[in-house]
Amino acid sequence: MPLIRLNNQSISSVTALPSGIDTGKIGQVISQTLSTCQTSTSGTSYVDTSFSINITPTATSSKIYVTFDCGGIYHSVGEGGFIRVRYNNDTQIYNTGDYTCYRGGSDLQIGSGISVLHSPNTTSEKNYKIQIANRTTTGTMYIGHPNNSSTYGTFTCMEVLA
């Protein structure tokens, strides 16, 4: 049976939700989409990608909802690697764990997604970035594919107001 009344009012006449229903609010959204391949060739050390966002929370009680989605991960010699979100150049707030990636001429074996809610407790501008690392010292770890420019990634930071 369809819902046609809310708090004894017709749905078409409702202009606000009843008290006690918290809908939350988004203060700001900063998003970055890149279609260029991001690479890591420096052994097993994490390196910065071009995914980097500066955001200034409006209140110390705000949280930052961080998402990253990419079309795929590829490795030149069939090894694997890691993707992480780094906060303010000193704190890892999320690590995907070890990816095993397969090698191929044009195939992407794994898509990747990250969603994490962070509490920076500040009103100062802070930086969030995506970093990647190889699992071994051989080959190259890619976000995207070196032979396919239609794969891309989107990195987003949203301020969630308290």
The mean of the pLDDT values for the chain is 78
Rounded distance between C-alpha atoms, residue 47 and residue 129, angstroms: 10
The pair of structure tokens assigned to 10 is 């017709």
Strand ranges inside the chain, DSSP E: 5-6, 9-10, 25-34, 38-40, 47-55, 63-75, 80-87, 91-95, 99-100, 110-118, 126-134, 141-143, 153-161
Share of the chain above pLDDT 90, in %: 27
Tokens of 80: 């694997």
**Rounded CA separation 56/71 (Å):** 28
Residue 141 has pLDDT above 70, yes or no: yes
Are the CB atoms for 96 and 81 separated by under 8 Å?
no
Q: Is 130 exposed, middle or buried (0-12, 13-18, 19+ CB in 10 A)?
A: buried
17-28 confidence digits (pLDDT tens)? 667 666 679 999
Residue 58: is its pLDDT beyond 70?
Answer: yes
Say which residue the tokens 């930086």 belong to. Answer: 127
pLDDT at 106: 45
In this predicted structure, what is the pLDDT of residue 108? 44
Closest CA to 28 of 68, 65, 60: 65
pLDDT tens-digit series, residues 80-136? 777 888 888 777 776 776 665 555 544 445 567 788 999 999 999 999 998 888 877
